[in-house]
Chains A and B, each alone.
Chain A
Amino acid sequence: MKQLKICMLGAFAVGKTSLVARFVKSVFSEKYHSTIGVKIDKKQLSLAGQDLTLVLWDLEGEDDLVRVQMTYLRGAAGYLLVVDGTRPETLETAVLLRRRIETEAGVLPFVLLLNKYDLAERWAINDPGLLGLRDAAAATLNTSAKDGLNVDEAFTALAQAVVDPGSGAAEGSA
Chain B
Amino acid sequence: MNDDTSLIAGVLGAMGLLVAQRVVGGYRWIGTPPPWAEAFGCTVDQPCDLAGSFAFMGLFLHDAEVFWAQAEGEATISSAPWSEPDQDGVEHQLEAVAMRLPRAGGQADGDGAEVIAVAGAGADVAQTQSILQAARERRLAVDRELAVRRQVEQQLRLRVEQRTVELARTNEQLRALAAQVGLAEQRERHRLALGLHDHVGQLLAAAKMQAGAERAAAGDPAARERLTGLLDLMNQAIDATRTLTFELSPPMLYELGLVATLASLMEQIAGQHPGMKCTFRDDQSPKSVAQDVEVVLFQIARELINNVLKHAQATRMVVETQTQDGALVMSVTDDGAGFDDGVLQEPVVGAGGFGLYSVRERLDHLGGRLEVQTRPGAGTTVRVIAPAV
Contact = CB atoms under 8 A, between A and B. Distances in A.
B146 to A, nearest CB: 8
A89 interface: yes
B376 interface: no
Interface residues of A, number: 30
A36 B128 contact: yes
A99 interface: no
Nearest to A86: B147
A124 B149 CA distance: 11
Contact of A87 (B83, B84, B143): B143
A88 B143 CA distance: 9
A36 B125 contact: yes
A33 interface: yes
Contact of B84 (A32, A40, A61, A89): A40
B81 A40 contact: no
8 contacts: A12-B140, A13-B136, A37-B80, A42-B85, A75-B59, A86-B144, A87-B143, A124-B150
A122 B59 contact: no
A72 B79 CA distance: 11
Contact of B151 (A12, A66, A69, A124): A124
Given A36-B81, A38-B82, A40-B84, A12 B59 contact: no
A48 interface: no
A124 B151 CA distance: 7
A71 interface: yes
B62 interface: yes
B299 interface: no
Contacts of A61: 136
Contacts, number: 76
A34 B135 CA distance: 10
Given A75-B59, A122-B148, A63 B136 contact: yes
B281 interface: no
Contact of A124 (B81, B139, B147): B147
B357 interface: no
Contact of A39 (B62, B83, B143): B83
B139 A63 contact: yes
Interface in A54-81: 55, 57, 61, 63, 65-66, 69, 71-72, 74-75
Contact of B82 (A34, A40, A66, A71): A40
Nearest to B80: A37
Contacts of A55: 55
Interface string B102-141: 0000000000000000000000010011001101110110
A40 B139 contact: no
Contacts of B83: 37-40
Contacts of B59: 71-72, 74-75
B246 to A, nearest CB: 64
Given A13-B136, A32-B140, A71-B59, A122 B151 contact: yes
